[in-house]
Amino acid sequence: MKFYQLKPEQRREILQSEGINLEDIDDQVLNRLDKLSENVVGQLRLPLGVVQNFLLNGQSYMVPMAVEEPSVVAAANHGAHIFARNGGVKATSKRTGIYGQIVLKVNHDFSLPDLKKKFPDLIDLANKEFASLIRHGGGTRSIEAERKGDLVYLKVLVDPAEAMGANKTNSILEFLAAKLKQFPGIEEKLFAILSNYPSQLTKATVTLDPKTMGGRKVAERVALLSKIGYEDPYRAVTNNKGIMNGVDAVLIATGNDYRAIESATAVLASQDGHYRSLSKWTMQDGKLVGELTLPMAIGVVGGSIKARKDVQQSFAILGKEINSAKLAEIIVSVGLANNLAALLAISTVGIQAGHMKLQARNIVSELDASDEEKKKVLAQIIKQKDYSESYAQAVLKQIREGK
């Protein structure tokens, strides 16, 4: 049998026979994971943290974040606290659909105007074939086409309802491509697959009183950093990474495809041919106004979401009645909160100081020491601002020697 055909226990035995140490895992968990992926031999766990009292559109949420970096969760909570003091975030989500592409090779017998006349019929056929999507509020919405030499590019807009919609969209595209092959002048289908081009855009905005975040000078510094990020790609890419720290953590916690969102945001950041910050902070009438627009082709059903107990735990934290639009608004708003916290850190004490204090906890957690000893070591290394493992060990030794 091939490796992928083996049971996960057998795969683990092979790796262990080669001297690879594997972490213990419950058999039921292992077999459940085996149904979600390929060549499964174990699991990789991430801590699940929460953002408390995230005030969005007048409603308070507790937001799950799956990430191994404590500063990301701390930053989201810090930003959320400032937002709440200013009435929270306002967000809107346009879930018009996701795009799919069909590219056809054609000859001299092909007529694009004649093909366009068939589009209404093709849409009706697709919606009849995929009637279950219609029942859930989605469906194929439109088809556009353009010809470039002997190639025809079709752009199909599919409303996936409450799912991310990748699999359903691909099925619809293959169905349409099969119908199109019967049209005169079409020689072959080159591909029919969804595009991760930015769609399902969600926008979050917040208006902050400078008094709630360190004063006017700090607010003006945040606005200046935002301006630099808009003009300078070296700053922009790091600014956007800070945004995606929060965004990715919630996407992972809710079982959504963070890789697709990352790809789409990279395109959005380069729309005018110049890579720019995704967020924008400006001073308006004495207030600091922040806004962030991101593509959010996500779902609350479909894929492995219902099959994963850890993801369902995240939705339980979020609360009832979370649909795709609300989740998108939460995710983008968290990204804005992380962005503000990072800009504030840069504007004041510098971002590294906060990072290292949180990193100190990781160093201390690895010490072979009692909880009381770890507490004393942590306090000392933060006081001395020496976050090396060797210093932590030296402090522990001094504590045990009574020094």
Q: Is 188 a catalytic residue?
A: no
165: left (phi over 0), alpha (psi -120 to 50) or beta: left
Give strand pairing partners of 290. Answer: 206, 281
Specify the amino acid at residue 249.
Answer: A
Tokens 């006349």 correspond to 117
295's CB contacts (< 8 A; 6+ apart) are 198, 199, 200, 201, 202, 261, 264, 265, 268
Half-sphere exposure of 19 (CA within 13 A, CB side): 0
Task: Please say if 69 is a catalytic residue.
Answer: yes
371's tokens: 């909880």
Set 94, 118, 355, 376: catalytic member? 355
Asked about 262 being catalytic, the answer comes back as no
Distance CA 90, CA 39 (A): 44
Number of other CB atoms surrounding residue 45 within 10 Å: 10
Question: Of 13, 34, 69, 220, which residue is the catalytic one?
Answer: 69
137 is written with which tokens? 């509020």
DSSP 257-277: -HHHHHHHHHHHTTTTSS---
Of 13, 174, 232, 257, which is the active-site residue?
257
How far, in Å, CA of 279 to CA of 291, rounded? 6
108 is catalytic: no
Which is the catalytic residue, given 241, 274, 306, 397?
241
Tokens encoding 120: 């209404």
Alpha carbons 241 and 146: distance in angstroms, whole number? 35
216-224 contacts: CB < 8 A, separation 24 or more? 216/286, 218/344, 218/347, 218/348, 219/283, 219/288, 220/283, 221/347, 222/281, 222/288, 222/340, 222/343, 222/344, 222/347, 223/281, 223/282, 223/283, 223/288
User: What gap in Å lies between CA 25 and CA 312, rounded to an integer?
Assistant: 20
Q: Would you name the residues annotated as active-site residues? A: 69, 241, 257, 355
